[in-house]
Amino acid sequence: MNIGQLIRRGETCWEIPPTAAMRVPAVIYADEGLIRAMDPKVYEQITNVATLPGIVEAAYAMPDAHWGYGFPIGGVAAFDPDQGGVISAGGVGFDISCGVRTLHTGLTMDRLESDPHRLADELYRAIPAGVGSRGKIHLNPHEMTAMLTGGARWAIDRGFGEAADLERIEERGCMAGADPAQVSARARERQREEMGTLGSGNHYLEVQRVVEIYHRPVAEKFGLRTDGIVITIHCGSRGLGHQIGTEFLKEMAMAAAQYKIALPDRELACAPIRSPLGRRYLGAMRAAINCALANRQILTHLTQKAVDTVFPGVRLELLYDVSHNTCKVEHYTVNGRKKELYIHRKGATRAYGPGHPDLPEAFREVGQPVLIGGSMGTSSYVLCGTEKGANRAFSSACHGAGRAMSRHQAAKQWRGRELVDELARQGIIIRSPSLRGIAEEAPLAYKDAGAVVGAADKAGLAHKIARLEPVICIKG
């Protein structure tokens, strides 16, 4: 990105003042190195977001921002329905509620080291992964509707996990306002056999070792100790979410003129929040959020069974579950007035600070766990939300390292087999149905996660708590 286009507001804060059709400034949080390496498309996309009706304060880009569909991945924007604010299918993305959950195992590295390959094999057998993977759960129409309404709560009611898990999931495992009637027959059909599957692309299940603690008191609240073993699952709403995104993007793009919305980019397709189309999309999107929450809950159950085979009696406990691609109703003070806003997070994580009433009691004193995924061969991080974050980007933080190059470029540069062998030499066991998929997700195809997390920390979006390194990765 051309740094000369930006006004520096701090060590990790850069502003693009409003010009032309921009209604608000655009703000990018990143250090100078990340800004210089950032895709120039982020500038174009985040300034386009700033033109949308009803946007509040600014359009924000997180330190992991890169080119996405309409919104940049790592984009955050809030819209006020009282000011004609919009809901954008492009601002949520195709993999609705793609997210991460991290599970405590109670194991330590010395015990895992006795037979890591057996655990890798059991997990790979238990977790359907890859393009078009199918699970063993087949939903009839009644159960599909129940799942879309109930989310993780539906899954737990059917024996996939423990009720205590719900306290550790955003929205307590069930997104209110879901309207399964707005989910098409095609979307339902795509999901009918995909519950409890990991998917492909950047989705993964990773066994990780806690290698570094940055803030011991909060780490203890989160149950994280050096050399402890955790398991992290990254996936979303599979075919159903993608189908909903596809259908509503098309419909919103066609309806934009009807609502007198001038789209700077067709991929920013949107509709007024209070319009019939806006309400229909919100109902469908919330149903897809529930699908993703149910899917991660079922995957947790399958993971538990695999772990129990290798380490009988070991019980997994949920640290937290966060979603990335969502639009949620939240309350913030804007110009001295409490407002109900629709917060779009596209490849960004909600990061509530200490004292927020929506946090479970266990975290209310310290803030929300913010789970930052690595890239198969690199570190992941656990952060916590801050009080300042509410005034920086509507309580939002980065969600991962962020791509540094496209999948096509990565596949040209690396070979999957060579990466698997190289990672094995580093002590990281990879299991995947696709060598091409591994090449596309090569660790060096992503930005330096440490730099991204460091910038988020310095910007006050979220604070570093612990660093995790991969031991086993089941890659979709």
Provide the CATH number for the domain around residue 132: 3.90.1860.10
**Assigned domain for 427 exists:** no
Is 171 contained in some domain? yes
The alpha carbons of the chain give a radius of gyration, in whole angstroms, of 21
Using CA atoms, how far apart are residues 236 and 186, in angstroms rounded to an integer? 18
| Overall number of domains in the chain | 1
Give me the numbers of helices (H) and strands (E) for the chain, helices first please. Answer: 17, 19
CA distance 53 to 208: 43
* Catalytic center residues: 399
Structure confidence at residue 462 (pLDDT): 98
Question: Tokens 């469908």 — which residue?
Answer: 284
Tell me if 59 is assigned to some domain: yes
Quick one: pLDDT at residue 114?
Answer: 86
Q: Are 66 and 39 in contact (CB under 8 A)?
A: yes
Please report the pLDDT score of residue 11 as a whole number: 97
Annotated binding site, which residues?
A: 95, 202-206, 234, 324-325, 373-376, 380, 399-402, 475
Domain of 454, in residue numbers: 3-404+446-475
List residues forming the annotated binding site for Mn(2+). 95, 203, 234, 324
Residue 277 in any domain: the answer is yes
Is residue 433 in a domain? no
Q: Report yes or no on 439 lying in a domain.
A: no
* Residue 180 confidence (pLDDT): 98
Known binding-site residues for GMP equal 202-206, 324-325, 373-376, 380, 399-402, 475
Distances (CA, A) of 12 to 19, 383, 412, 456: 22, 17, 33, 8
Whole-angstrom distance, CA of residue 156 vs CA of residue 180 = 19
Kindly state the tokens that stand for 91. 């601002």
Mean pLDDT in order along the chain per 10 residues (476 residues): 95 97 98 96 97 98 95 97 97 96 97 93 95 89 97 97 96 97 97 94 96 98 97 96 97 96 94 98 98 98 97 97 97 94 97 96 96 93 95 95 92 95 96 94 93 97 98 94
Residue 431 lies in a domain: no
Contact 167, 101 (CB under 8 A): no
430 lies in a domain? no
Residue written as token pair 């890859």:
130
| Strands across the sheet containing 337-346 | 7-10, 13-16, 26-29, 59-66, 73-79, 337-346, 326-334
